[in-house]
């Protein structure tokens, strides 16, 4: 079984190192970059704009949560709220 896996791996390596394969792969990667770079920046900016509102809201809610936890600790300290397990 190990010999078969090694043989398959060797054959795959040979294919990936074949000059035609390498040339076509380079062409594909170049074309891929060419097509992506034109639109990718625009889409990233749109996503950033859309998500900025959510990020601000999350930060606001996190701040509210921290204030609530601090208030809960104060009330527990005064004995106004039972501690967990009491």
- Residue 86 domain-assigned? no
Gap between the terminal Cα atoms of the chain: 62
* Tokens representing residue 10 in the block: 């060797």
Q: What tens digit of pLDDT does each residue of 3-55 get?
A: 999 999 999 999 999 999 999 999 999 988 888 777 788 888 888 888 888 88
- Residue 85 domain-assigned? no
CA distance 2 to 9: 10
In the chain, the number of structural domains is 1
- Residue 84 domain-assigned? no
- Residue 10 domain-assigned? yes
- Residue 83 domain-assigned? no
For the chain, state the CA radius of gyration: 29
Q: Is the dihedral of CA 54, 56, 59, 60 positive or negative?
A: negative
Going from the C-alpha of 57 to that of each of 50, 54, 63, 71, 74, the distances in angstroms are 12, 5, 10, 21, 26
- pTM assigned to the model: 0.42
Task: Provide the residue range defining the domain that includes 38.
Answer: 2-78
- Residue 11 domain-assigned? yes
- DSSP summary character for residue 79: T
């Amino acid at each position: 079984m190990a010999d078969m896996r090694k043989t398959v791996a060797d054959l795959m390596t040979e294919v990936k190192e074949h000059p035609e394969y390498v040339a076509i792969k380079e062409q594909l990667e170049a074309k891929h970059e060419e097509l992506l770079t034109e639109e990718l920046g625009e889409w990233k900016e749109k996503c950033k704009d859309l998500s900025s509102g959510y990020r601000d809201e999350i930060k606001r809610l996190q701040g509210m949560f921290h204030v609530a936890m601090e208030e809960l600790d104060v009330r527990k300290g005064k004995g106004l709220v039972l501690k967990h397990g009491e």
